[in-house]
A = this chain, B = another copy of it.
Amino acid sequence: MERKPTPDHLLLDRQLCFALYAASRSVTGLYRPLLEPLGLTYPQYLVMLVLWEQEGLTVRELGARLQLDSGTLTPLLKRLQAAGLVDRRRRAEDEREVEIRLTEAGLALREQASDIPECMAQRLQLSLEQMQTLRDELKQLTRQLQLSPTEE
């Protein structure tokens, strides 16, 4: 009748994955009120960051950068288009590809977004150095996981 306690390694608080999952959602939540005035969701903001860096990417190229597939990007980009921030156009050279370009409004939005990173940095209560270290550890982790695919 005695029930075994759960083994330590299955405790929620021991899991790196949950720490990651919780932190990611918390940070996204912190962005929400900052992005709401711009009319952007957090994933839409990430797409805009990429487009502000480099114009005329295809859906595939955007997906490679953000690790998202067309199932996620296509509807998201349609919403950005409906909001008047981007244009979507089949490429003449290769009709399979759809090129995403900023509209004037889309480019102009960059100015409004310009102080978001600083604002976030303040709220995270981390030094610039701590932020960089943590960011680079996470990037290293992600790179590691993409290099070693799931061997069956």
* Chain A residues within 8 Å of B, Cβ to Cβ: 3, 6-7, 9-31, 33, 42, 46, 49-50, 52-53, 65-67, 107, 110, 113-114, 117-118, 120, 123-126, 131, 134-139, 141-142, 144-146, 148, 150, 152
Contacts and interface: CB of A to CB of B under 8 A. Distances in A.
Contacts of A31: 17
A104 to B, nearest CB: 12
Contact of A117 (B10, B50, B52): B10
Q: Number of copies of this chain in the oligomer?
A: 2
A145 B123 contact: yes
Contact of A10 (B7, B15, B52, B125): B52
A27 B13 CA distance: 16
A27 B20 contact: yes
Interface of chain A, helix or strand or loop or mixed? Answer: helix
A99 to B, nearest CB: 17
A50 B12 contact: yes
Nearest to A16: B135
Q: Which 8 A-B residue pairs are closest in the complex by CB-CB distance?
A: A24-B24, A19-B138, A23-B138, A6-B52, A9-B117, A19-B135, A16-B135, A26-B145
